[in-house]
Amino acid sequence: MKPLTTLILLCISLLSTAQTPKIDPAYAALVDTAFAKMQRSECQPCLDLYLQAFDISQHSALSHLRAATCAYQCGKKDLGWDLATKAVAIDWSVCEAVINNPLDYPEFDALKGSDLRIYTKAIIREAAEASGIDLDLAEMLSEIEDDDQYYRRMADSMGRAHQRDSEEYQAFMKKWEERDAECLQKIEGIIAVYGYPGKSLVGSEYASSAWLVIQHAPLEKQEYYLPMITEAAEKGEMPKSNWALLVDRIRMRHEEPQLYGSQVMCDPDCHFYDIEDEANVNQRRREVGLGPLEEYAKRFGFEWTPPKKGE
């Protein structure tokens, strides 16, 4: 693995620029206030405000799950179960993400070990299976994602704490390489059984888990799986934006200009690796669901101005 001074920064998938539906201001005010009440453990005001909001709109699985929690805390278990059922009916995948990510949603701490949580997980599984989703496989991919990111999360702090040629740092890098190899082995085992595990098999949240690990794999593995990932992206099984990042990384490793501007070098100042037909890069990015390169550059603390066509 290359030293971090020349290491390509972790890829960041930018969200699509598609417009989101407008939210009724009255509804937004009610759910915002309800959530604030929930955070202060005021279960009855929280529940009352959510129920008022649902008279206006019932589009949010997350809000219904929060309302279910408030009802449960107030001793209204039947209402809590009804609201949880509604939440899962609206979007089971949102509920599954919330239930499985307690660090991101601490307001649901009250559900730990509760019969409401057990019930919600059960109906999530029923809804997922009815949609053809393999939740066991999705959970396996979630664990692999966590393993893939484990040492990457510590990279900056290790770089600040130790010299790159120190024994501590070299030991850290060795463990990182070993972990990446383990993750790749697991992903290859899954692919051997299922093919590419995309959205129709594991849901949207984990549709890019296999891609993430392959993105960090040796070049020969990236090239081997690129046709499979290309097909998955074309079929809508994973975001085209992630496919574009893999294309850029492979081109860069062949010392060829990238196409989508996803690869950033910091040595030590950050800049884009060479971009082919740079004047039209934003058009190519739009085609795969990536935002403007100007905004992407700001994420890394530098400015980029599109060249004029013909320059």
69-101 tens-digit pLDDT: 999 999 999 999 999 999 999 999 899 889 888
Residue 140 has which token pair? 């396996």
At 184 the pLDDT is 98
Q: Residue 296 in contact with residue 248, Cβ under 8 Å?
A: no
What are the sequence ranges of the domains in the chain? Answer: 25-130, 135-239
115-119, Cβ contacts within 8 angstroms, sequence gap of 24 or more: 115/77, 116/68, 116/69, 116/72, 116/77, 116/80, 116/81, 116/84, 119/81, 119/84
**In which region does residue 271 sit, left (phi positive, over 0), alpha (psi from -120 to 50) or beta (all else)?**
beta
Q: What is the pLDDT along the chain (311 residues), one digit of tens a residue?
A: 333 333 333 333 333 333 445 789 999 999 999 999 999 999 999 999 999 999 999 999 999 999 999 999 999 999 999 999 999 999 998 998 898 888 889 999 888 889 999 999 999 999 999 999 999 999 999 999 999 999 999 988 998 899 888 999 999 999 999 999 999 999 999 999 999 999 999 998 899 999 999 999 999 999 999 999 999 999 999 999 999 999 999 999 999 999 999 999 988 899 999 999 999 999 999 999 999 999 999 999 999 998 877 65
At 304 the pLDDT is 94
Alpha-carbon Rg for the chain, nearest whole angstrom, is: 23
Residue 92 has which token pair? 């089971």
What is the rounded CA–CA span in Å between residue 113 and residue 117? Answer: 7
H/E element, 272:
strand 270-272
CB-CB neighbours of 136 under 10 Å: 10
> For 146-185, how does the pLDDT look when each residue is reduced to its tens digit (9 = 90+)?
999 999 999 889 988 998 889 999 999 999 999 999 999 9
Determine the CATH number of domain 25-130. Answer: 1.25.40.10
Residue 9 has which token pair? 């920064």
At 16 the pLDDT is 36
At 4 the pLDDT is 36
Q: Residue 72 in contact with residue 80, Cβ under 8 Å?
A: yes
